[in-house]
Amino acid sequence: MTILVTGARGTIARALVGQLLEGGHDVRAAGRDPGRTRLPGGVEVVAADLARPESWDAALDGVTKAFLYAGTDGLGGFLSRAGGLTQVVLLSALGADPASEDAITRAHGEAEQAVRDAGIPWTFLRPGGFAANRLLWADSVREGVVRDPFPDSHAALIHEADIAAVAVRALTSSGHIGATHTLTGAESLTVRDQVSAIGRVAGRPVRVETQDLDDYRRELTAAFEARGLGRVGSAEVIEARIRRLAALVDRPQPTTETVLEVTGRPARTFAEWAEDHAEDFA
């Protein structure tokens, strides 16, 4: 059984590939630019782009299961060539709903519906937010100032290793076909608390300043464009993100026990994530 992991350059894909290899599973990774991946030696990495459906034929050859990102354009083209798969594990988002008025949850709900319509057995992972997105703060942490439009907004951010661990169970054990797993980190923290945790592992004081919303829009758009995530960084999606952040000011985000229930170990704390990424903020 060969498992295909898409988005090979991403933090979640890297964690998933590593955990699958540790479990003795055959893995193939796919991405638009294989030369820029940071994966363990010996992993087969192939070039494939969801914008070019025909590029997936070689990537899918001999594959039985696949891990996909819902937020990527071109999912339909991939699914049209993936009819022989026995399972797709789709990384979606909390609250995914194709009828939602929120651009983020609607886009992820549409992706889930596309997988259902393809007739491939599925498992959906719905995280509430990625701790790895805080890597965007790296330069700011080194400068000693993180700017954010909502410093008192809460998030229960999840470690990429925990998402990967749930994905491994979904891909390699029974009982997950047709399941939707809602994932969060261990606790809900404000932006100020997150910056404090990162500052401790970085070994320097880091203060938080309230950022102008227009500056935030420009910064976020540029960051997503640099990562080739045009749809994720669209104006409509960015406005939806802003509304979410505003709604969680002084309001903790509910957490789930799904990581513990699926993997047998509790979700890691944000402080643990910061420790694991101390070098990124040094």
pLDDT digit of tens for each residue in the chain (282 aa)? Answer: 899 999 888 899 999 999 999 999 999 999 888 888 888 877 889 999 887 888 999 999 999 999 999 866 678 889 999 989 999 999 999 999 999 999 889 999 999 999 999 999 999 999 999 999 999 999 999 999 999 999 999 999 999 999 999 999 999 999 999 999 999 999 999 999 999 999 999 999 999 999 999 999 998 888 767 665 545 457 888 898 999 999 999 999 999 999 999 999 999 999 999 999 999 999
Q: How many CB atoms lie within 10 A of CB 172?
A: 16
Please report the pLDDT score of residue 60 as a whole number: 95
| 89 strand-pairing partners | 67, 123
Please report the pLDDT score of residue 221 as a whole number: 84
Please report the pLDDT score of residue 230 as a whole number: 47
Residue of 238, 213, 211, 242 whose CA lies nearest to 225 = 238
Please report the pLDDT score of residue 173 as a whole number: 97
Q: Give the span between the Cα atoms of 17 and 6, in whole angstroms.
A: 10
The answer to whether the CB of 170 falls within 8 A of the CB of 176 is yes
Contacts of 248 (CB under 8 A, 6+ apart): 150, 153, 154, 155
Please report the pLDDT score of residue 89 as a whole number: 98
Q: How is residue 240 written in tokens?
A: 């939806």
Q: What is the distance in angstroms between the CA of the first residue and the CA of the last residue of the chain?
A: 40
Q: How is residue 36 written in tokens?
A: 């820029």
Amino acid at 118: A
